[in-house]
Amino acid sequence: MKQLILSFAALLAALSAFAQEFVYTEATDLTITGKVFPDTPEPYQRMDFGKYGGWVENDIRLLKQSSGIIVSFKTDAPAIRMKAIVCGGWGSNRGDRGFDLYIKKDGRWLWAAAAAIPGGNDEYKFCNLITDLAPGEKECMVYFPNFSEIRSAQVGVPAGCTLTPGEKPFRHNIALYGSSFTHGACTSRAANTLPGFLSRMTGFQFNSLGVSGDCKMQPQFLNALKDAKADAFFFDTFSNPSPGEIRERTFGFIEGIQATHPGVPLIFIRTIRRENRNFNTDRDRVESAKMAVADSVMAIAVKRYKDVYYIKTSNAATPDQETTVDGIHPSDFGYHIWAESLRKPLVRILRRYGIR
């Protein structure tokens, strides 16, 4: 009976929160960050498709998705909601269609809440992020969904509460171009991506240009990245291409970026070991060849080109190799392990360029 009473009280509290009058502010009227290209015509997409050409249908589909985008704000509200038009997504889960709230406490970003927008495209839907917040102003940031296109996203607080643009939550601008690992495949929350963990671990802003399965150093991506305003570049470019594509494209890709960004560090990482090769001999052969070619090509690149680095410590698994979700992508904890395996070498390299 006691448990029933407590459950009923919780339900009443939630209904009370939804019964309040909320005032909504479009996220673009607050502080948006996390984008390699901040001034796209559609604010919650990650590319200006008119300015940079050569895109194929799959590129466009992926770059319309809001992975890595963050809205930052300050509020004294006791409750926070999101109101959004969310299209697509691989189901109504917190990674694909959800918003992920962090609040700063004692100088660090601490997870606060996450909620998914219900299914249904081309119409506003609501999700209640959090209620019963303590009095006083709070610094907040909300990560946008990884695998959905956002047509509108509005932050809601009860009428009479303050809601103002926040500071950018992280320093500098590091462009991260990569695969589904960068995009956030198999994460349970939008913030649990490789760039998300790296930003919170280091305090540096890793802007995500993750394109699931589509990161192969193609000319259209190179042409856009040549124009990116970045303090450093970080590349997960050896997870998707074939050995032949790695061999044929890497040097030209490096030379193209360096032509417009002399003196800027270009940091490449080794792809992680995929667990689907454990007993599948064909997968093991393909993955071994891919990693061997990347190692060989980058051994030449770091000697041939100044400001080019290769981090081989990539690891997303515990010693018992139990952090995979589907044999390819890590779990949330696996992504955390991976970010931690890269943190120290990344910080050491970036310090050489005054990024600290």
What domains, with CATH codes, occur in the chain? 20-165 (2.60.120.260), 171-351 (3.40.50.1110)
How far is residue 42's CA from residue 140's CA, in Å, rounded to a whole number?
A: 23
The CA-based angle 111-113-114, given to 5 degrees, is 115
Q: Distance between CA atoms of 174 and 355, rounded to whole angstroms?
A: 10
The yes-or-no verdict on residue 17 having pLDDT over 80 is: no
d(CA 5, CA 24) in angstroms, rounded, equals 33
d(CA 168, CA 228): 19
Q: Could you report how far apart the first and last alpha carbons of the chain are, in Å?
A: 56
Tell whether the model's pLDDT for residue 89 goes beyond 70.
no
pTM of the model: 0.92
15 vs 179, higher pLDDT: 179
Q: Do 234 and 345 form a contact (C-beta atoms < 8 A)?
A: no
Is the pLDDT score of 205 beyond 60?
A: yes
Helices (H), the chain: 2-19, 57-63, 180-183, 194-202, 219-225, 243-260, 281-304, 332-351
**Amino acid in position 152:** S
Q: What does the pLDDT average to over 110-126?
A: 89
> Mean pLDDT score of the chain, rounded to an integer?
93
Residue 350 banded pLDDT, cuts 50, 70, 90 = very high
Query: Is 210:176 a contact under the CB 8 Å cutoff?
Result: yes
CA dist., res. 279 & res. 174, Å (int): 37
Q: DSSP letters of 61-101?
A: HHHTB-TT-EEEEEE--S-EEEEEEEEE-SSSSTTTSEEEE
The model's confidence at residue 9, banded by pLDDT at 50, 70 and 90, is: very low
Q: What percent of the chain has pLDDT above 90?
A: 89
Query: Residue 270: pLDDT above 90?
Result: yes
Q: What is the dihedral of CA 68, 113, 99, 327, to 10 degrees?
A: 60
**CA nearest neighbour of 231 among 255, 201, 266:** 266
Average pLDDT over residues 147-162: 97
Structure tokens at 288: 């071994």
φ/ψ (deg, to 5) at 11: -65, -40
Q: What is the pLDDT of residues 61-77, one digit of tens each?
A: 999 999 999 999 999 99
Position 122 scores a pLDDT of 75
78 burial type by CB count under 10 A (0-12 exposed, 13-18 middle, 19+ buried): middle
Instruction: Please state the φ and ψ torsions of residue 191, each to the nearest 5 degrees.
Output: -85, -10
